[in-house]
Amino acid sequence: MFVKQLTIFVENKFGRIADILDILGKNHIDIRALSIADTSEYGLMRMIVSDPSAAKTLLREAGIIVKITDAIAVPLDHTPGGLSRIMEILRGGGISVSYLYAFVGMYGNDAVVVLKTDKPEETVTLLSQNGITPLGNV
Amino acid sequence: MIYNPQIEQMPRDELKKLQSALLIKQVERMYERVECFRNRMDLNGVKPSHIKSIDDLHLLPFSYKKDLRDYYPYGLFAEPMENIVRLHASSGTTGKQIVVGYTRNDLDNWSGTIARSLSAAGADKNTFLQNAFGYGFFTGGLGIHDGATKIGATLIPIAAGNTQRQITTMVDFGSTMITCTPSYAMYLAEAIEEMGVRDKIKLKAGIFGAEPWSEDMRHAIESKLGIKAYDIYGLSEIQGPGVAYECEYQCGMHICEDLFVAEIIDPDTGEVLPEGSTGELVFTTLAKEGFPVIRYRTRDICSLIYEPCRCGRTHIRMNKPTGRSDDMLIIRGVNVFPSQIEEVLLKVGGDITPNYQIIVDRVNNTDTFDINVEMSDAFLHDEVRSIERLEKSIVDELRSVLGIGVKVHLVNPKSITRSEGKAKRVIDNRKI
């Protein structure tokens, strides 16, 4: 079970992030989780939003390069050691993390970690075996 | 000094007779041996027997850089491979390199023209010649090398790059002449100044070529290094360096007319232009055996000087090329065509050519070479390393095609300036 994540190319240019967020805000797209990967030349904005395909269309119309990719959204206890437990499970299963970002209150009061691994299908199976069900889009 | 007075000072009527005899022979030989040439002659209804003197040159068909790709690798050679003793290669207009071949006689003629060039710049057997042109497929290094050996100079085959070692060698070995690209000469001059060894170098002259340079640059090199800076012209399709060279009066490059005939044409109509006009330079090789060409379109724009030179050489001179009749760029001495870049992007981007722009500049006397590529769906990925891998594959692929490094920048779609719907492909900010 995967969650649809937006990946947006952010050119290294003043005000670029503001432009993107402005489009989403004006169109009532709710951002549930967000991270920005910065490189020396450009940024990559990844986000989980209320309506990924509408957001994609809107951004694309504005000439922004955007892609929908699958990620895994894992709910976890918002207590010390919560994320650590998930990582231990992945380590035990020989799974490597490509990136992750964590959010509190994404779907309520719980914490959620959005992650991408080298073996997405195996990750979902392994987590399920450990009683953790990844979230879909809500 | 004039290396070969009999040839270099040959009266013009005699020179014309020599050229005519060589041309007739060359045309007959190529008609028999080079399919591409024969087909074009037949298409134009011209027979070798129609060529009675050099004045009939205009009857012959042109040849083009594209031919080297179409008949790659050996389709235009006029000698069996057993007689070819050397191959040189350079970049073509696309990703594919082009190759030329030399017989023993070709190499001998070539080194003869370099011997003339070096002598005209004052070299002799007492000269310590530091050859800082690139060795390998590039004709600069080995071309100068063989000519230096011919005049008996003490050759220092250091090849291009490693500035520190260039300067140490220059000081320790007592180099009196240097050969390299003009931009590298400027770079060396500044490094010498920084190291404070200007009074330890013994350089008297330098011969520079393989990229465009101006009179201002000549003066800068001459004053910074305290030398005389000579120009040299050549291209591998004709031979390599030594097709034309400067004498001590530095007023245009004498064309080795016993071997190469130059014409200036209108690049659009192909018409031969009157003496002194500026137009596209076209060369015919009179004595080449391995890879001869008839009326080869160099795409260089320049003019020819017919007035006798004070040096006593009778061969006409060509002015420095001022531009190109195609979109070729010369970056760090390497020929770069936008089409080569397009091809690489197409290959890497999965059949979609993204919009791109080439930006060339000169910083600290070194050409900078950047390519802005508009980001597209094909290039976007949610993992940074996947995008970086893609960028790296563009850089690597371009390096292998062009042989020089380039910086690739991913930019926003539609951010590259377009005029009348077409993106401006090349921005050349160099002030040469």
Domains A3-70 and A71-129 share a fold: no
Considering only CA atoms, which of B333, B313, B307 is closest in space to residue B211? B333
ipTM of the complex: 0.85
Q: How far apart are CA B38 and CA B87, in angstroms?
A: 24
Closest Cβ–Cβ partner in B383, B385, B413 for A65: B413
Q: Tokens 């070194």 belong to which residue? A: B366
Model confidence at B117, pLDDT cuts 50, 70, 90, reads very high
Distance to chain B for A9, nearest Cα, Å: 7
- pLDDT for residue B257: 98
Has residue B420 got a pLDDT over 70?
no
Has residue B47 got a pLDDT over 90?
yes
Q: How far apart are CA B342 and CA B337, in angstroms?
A: 9
Under a CB-based contact definition with an 8 Å cutoff, are residues B369 and B332 in contact? yes
Q: What is the DSSP letter of B44?
A: T
In A, residues 9-68, which contact B (CB 8 Å cutoff)?
9, 11, 13, 37, 39, 41-42, 44, 46, 63-67
- Give the three-class secondary structure for B176: coil
Has residue B109 got a pLDDT over 80?
yes
A 10 A CB-CB count for A100 gives 18
* Alpha-carbon dihedral angle through residues B287, B288, B294, B296, given to the nearest 10 degrees: -120
- pLDDT for residue B88: 97
- pLDDT for residue A108: 65
Has residue B312 got a pLDDT over 90?
yes
| B chain contacts of residue A40, beta-carbon cutoff 8 Å | none
Q: In the predicted model, what is the mean pLDDT of residues B301-314?
A: 96
| B chain contacts of residue A7, beta-carbon cutoff 8 Å | 380-382
Instruction: Report the mean per-residue pLDDT for chain B.
Output: 92
Under a CB-based contact definition with an 8 Å cutoff, are residues B65 and B114 in contact? no
Q: In the predicted model, what is the mean pLDDT of residues B88-105?
A: 86
Q: In the predicted model, what is the mean pLDDT of residues B181-198?
A: 90
| Cα nearest neighbour of A116 on chain B | B383
A 10 A CB-CB count for B162 gives 12
Distance to chain A for B365, nearest Cα, Å: 25
Q: In the predicted model, what is the mean pLDDT of residues B390-408?
A: 89
- pLDDT for residue B352: 64
CATH number of the structural domain B1-326 = 3.40.50.12780
Percentage of chain B exceeding pLDDT 90: 72
Distance to chain B for A78, nearest Cα, Å: 27
- pLDDT for residue A63: 87
- pLDDT for residue B185: 92
In B, residues 371-430, which contact A (CB 8 Å cutoff)?
375-377, 379-385, 387-388, 409-415
Answer yes or no: do B382 and A67 touch at CB < 8 A: yes
**For the ranges A41-55, B129-143, B264-278, B327-341, which has the lowest average pLDDT?**
B327-341
Degrees, nearest 5: CA angle B79-B80-B84:
75
- pLDDT for residue B366: 83
Q: Which fold has domain B331-428?
A: GMP Synthetase; Chain A, domain 3 (3.30.300)
Low-confidence residues in chain A, pLDDT < 70 = 106-109, 137-138
Distance to chain A for B376, nearest Cα, Å: 6
Distance to chain B for A69, nearest Cα, Å: 7
Under a CB-based contact definition with an 8 Å cutoff, are residues A117 and A100 in contact? no
Answer yes or no: do A9 and B380 touch at CB < 8 A: yes
- pLDDT for residue B59: 96
CATH number of the structural domain A3-70 = 3.30.2130.10
pLDDT digits over B212-250, tens only? 888 888 998 999 999 999 999 999 999 999 999 999 999
| Residue B287 Cα distances to B22, B65, B94, B233, B312, angstroms | 7, 20, 29, 18, 24
Buried b (16+ CB within 10 A) or exposed e, B208-218: bbbbbbeeebb
- pLDDT for residue B333: 82
| Cα nearest neighbour of A46 on chain B | B382
Closest Cβ–Cβ partner in B382, B409, B411 for A7: B382
A 10 A CB-CB count for B127 gives 22
- pLDDT for residue B51: 97
Answer yes or no: do B382 and A69 touch at CB < 8 A: yes
Q: What is the DSSP letter of A30?
A: P
- Give the three-class secondary structure for A50: coil
Model confidence at B299, pLDDT cuts 50, 70, 90, reads very high
Q: For chain B, which residues make up each domain, given as ranges? A: 1-326, 331-428
Has residue B80 got a pLDDT over 90?
yes
- pLDDT for residue A36: 94
Structure tokens of B140? Answer: 């600069």
Has residue B111 got a pLDDT over 60?
yes
Has residue B281 got a pLDDT over 80?
yes
Q: Which fold has domain A71-129?
A: Alpha-Beta Plaits (3.30.70)
| Residue B319 Cα distances to A64, B120, B144, B281, angstroms | 50, 17, 21, 10
- pLDDT for residue B424: 76
User: Residues 6 or more apart from B253 whose CB is under 8 A from it?
Assistant: B231, B232, B233, B244, B245, B246, B317, B318, B320
Q: How far apart are CA B432 and CA B424, in angstroms?
A: 21
Structure tokens of A131? Answer: 């009683």
Answer yes or no: do B381 and A7 touch at CB < 8 A: yes
| Cα nearest neighbour of A39 on chain B | B384
Considering only CA atoms, which of A38, A111, A123, A119 is closest in space to residue A79? A111
- pLDDT for residue B422: 59
Model confidence at B139, pLDDT cuts 50, 70, 90, reads very high
DSSP code string of B208-239: E-SS---HHHHHHHHHHHTSEEEEEEEETTTT
Q: What is the DSSP letter of B351?
A: S
pLDDT digits over B338-352, tens only? 888 888 888 887 666
Q: For chain A, which residues make up each domain, given as ranges? A: 3-70, 71-129
Structure tokens of B124? Answer: 């002799």
Answer yes or no: do A46 and B380 touch at CB < 8 A: no
